[in-house]
């Protein structure tokens, strides 16, 4: 809890700095200012997501919720919080292309960089459990097909988004009930890393965790808006497509929690949890974020970029499936995945 309080204090300071930078815009509009705003707000976004996750775990422990149930939800939602709130910020700013670019770009980054970096730093070949490969990848394939089918005409409408959310609810409900799809070790590990003695399950503990949740959620909202705002202004100054910035710079930034968690899990030799975390986060991004935001207005993107992103999404799924098919991912395959992301980024920038 003390660590979470320190983290929340840092987040509040970062948000205050961001407000200060925004207030300077009328008299000092420059690329340096927007770059500083982006870096500070992105750090606040990632740190706020971390505080939100810790507070959720702590509150779940106090209330006696199961490690597995809260763990799955925290993995799905907690690590995707930066992506979610930056997408909300883009929607508020009236930038649907940034929403699609951010989500699809983050899914590609999660898969190629998350699994790739994990395989590169591991001193052993990553072994994929058959249940993780079968169950999780089947749901991931369903999510990919839903996104491809919904966006084939260039527009994601509210009823298509509602269908995505229905599928997500069934997936989360099944995941909480069935330990086959997700390794219970990750849920236990998350609780263990954040656990404090809960002998004094008093109102002060609950109130403290609730305050941290509220503060972190507010910080996620503001920092997400600042991140998008800085990219919009920066894109205008550089004369670069905002959607491209969202798909590259923002997507990599919002993938940091997933990549960092993947590296941590490799070091702790919790390989099943690594794949569960990456694939689960991708499923939540495709179904949860695109689905929920489309309820408030249709999402669209210019044809050439959308076709490239959808093709990249499908190609990424095929490549990761082929690599995972033999149940082992070695360092060379990890390097290949990271290299593919570099190629993806270069091709996107040159569109």
Torsions phi, psi for 155 (to 5 deg): -135, 135
The domains of the chain are located at 2-349
Please indicate, yes or no, whether the overall pTM of this predicted structure exceeds 0.75.
yes
Sequence-ordered strand ranges (E) for 229-302: 299-300
- Mean pLDDT of all residues belonging to the chain: 82
Distance CA 334, CA 126 (A): 10
At 29-70, the pLDDT tens digits run 788 999 999 999 989 988 887 888 777 777 766 666 555 555
335: its two tokens: 């390097």
At 280-312, the pLDDT tens digits run 889 999 999 999 999 988 899 888 889 999 999
Q: Which positions ≥6 away from 328 have C-beta within 8 Å?
A: 125, 126, 127, 128
pLDDT bin (cut points 50, 70, 90) of residue 112 is: very high
> What pLDDT, on the 0 to 100 scale, is given for residue 310?
92
Distance CA 137, CA 327 (A): 13
Instruction: Tell whether the torsion through CA atoms of 153, 155, 158 and 160 is positive or negative.
Output: positive
> What pLDDT, on the 0 to 100 scale, is given for residue 51?
84
pLDDT bin (cut points 50, 70, 90) of residue 330 is: confident
> What pLDDT, on the 0 to 100 scale, is given for residue 29?
73
265: its two tokens: 């899990």
Position of tokens 């929607």? Answer: 91
pLDDT bin (cut points 50, 70, 90) of residue 135 is: confident
Give the CATH superfamily of 2-349: NCX, central ion-binding region (1.20.1420.30)
Residue 15: pLDDT above 60?
Answer: yes
Q: 329's torsion region: left (phi>0), alpha (psi -120 to 50) or beta?
A: beta
Percent of the chain with pLDDT over 70: 84
Distance CA 122, CA 225 (A): 36
> What pLDDT, on the 0 to 100 scale, is given for residue 66?
54
190: its two tokens: 């998350």
Cβ burial, residue 314 (10 Å; 0-12/13-18/19+): middle
Of 131, 154, 134, 140, the closest CA to residue 317 belongs to 140
Average confidence (pLDDT) over 26-31:
81
Average confidence (pLDDT) over 187-195:
51
327: its two tokens: 């149940």
Contact (Cβ atoms closer than 8 angstroms) between residue 236 and residue 92: no
Of 335, 339, 327, 338, the closest CA to residue 125 belongs to 327
Distance CA 218, CA 221 (A): 5
pLDDT bin (cut points 50, 70, 90) of residue 121 is: confident
C-alpha triplet 228, 229, 231: angle, nearest 5°: 65
Distance CA 19, CA 41 (A): 10
Q: 127 forms bridges with which residues in the sheet?
A: 328
Distance CA 106, CA 344 (A): 12
Average confidence (pLDDT) over 318-333:
82
Residue 293: how many other CB atoms lie within 10 Å: 23
Of 281, 251, 325, the closest CA to residue 100 belongs to 251
Residue 251: pLDDT above 70?
Answer: yes
Distance CA 27, CA 238 (A): 19
Residue length of the chain: 351
When comparing pLDDT for 227 and 71, which is higher?
227
Distance CA 290, CA 103 (A): 7
Instruction: Give the N- to C-terminal CA distance of the chain in Å, as an integer.
Output: 47
Average confidence (pLDDT) over 315-320:
88
Residue 70: how many other CB atoms lie within 10 Å: 21
């Amino acid at each position: 809890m003390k660590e979470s309080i320190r983290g929340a204090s840092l987040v509040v300071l970062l948000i205050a700095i961001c407000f200060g930078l925004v207030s300077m815009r009328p008299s000092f509009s420059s690329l340096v200012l927007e770059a500083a705003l982006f870096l500070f707000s992105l750090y606040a976004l990632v740190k706020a997501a971390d505080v939100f996750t810790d507070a959720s775990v702590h509150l779940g422990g106090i209330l006696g919720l199961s490690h597995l149930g809260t763990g799955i939800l925290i993995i799905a939602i907690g690590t995707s919080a930066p992506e979610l709130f930056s997408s909300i910020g883009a929607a508020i700013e009236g930038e649907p292309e940034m929403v699609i670019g951010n989500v699809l770009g983050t899914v590609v980054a999660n898969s190629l960089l998350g699994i790739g970096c994990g395989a590169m730093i591991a001193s052993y070949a990553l072994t994929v459990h058959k249940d993780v490969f079968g169950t999780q990848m089947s749901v991931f394939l369903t999510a990919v097909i839903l996104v491809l089918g919904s966006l084939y005409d260039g527009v994601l409408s509210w009823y298509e988004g509602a269908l995505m959310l229905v599928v997500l609810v069934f997936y989360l409900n099944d995941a909480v009930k069935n330990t086959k799809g997700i390794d219970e070790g990750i849920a236990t590990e998350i609780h263990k890393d954040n656990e404090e003695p809960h002998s004094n399950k008093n109102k002060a503990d609950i109130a403290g965790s609730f305050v941290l949740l509220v503060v972190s959620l507010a910080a996620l909202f503001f920092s997400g808006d600042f991140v998008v705002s800085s990219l919009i202004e920066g894109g205008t100054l550089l004369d670069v497509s905002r959607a491209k910035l969202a798909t590259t710079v923002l997507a990599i930034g919002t993938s940091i929690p997933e990549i960092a968690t993947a590296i941590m899990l490799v070091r702790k030799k919790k390989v099943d949890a690594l794949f569960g975390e990456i694939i689960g986060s991708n499923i939540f991004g495709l179904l949860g974020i695109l689905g929920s935001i489309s309820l408030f207005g249709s999402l669209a993107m210019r044809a050439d970029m959308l076709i490239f992103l959808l093709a990249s999404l499908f190609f990424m799924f095929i490549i990761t499936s082929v690599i995972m098919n033999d149940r082992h991912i070695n360092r060379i395959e990890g390097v290949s995945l990271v290299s593919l992301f570099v190629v993806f980024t270069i091709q996107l920038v040159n569109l």
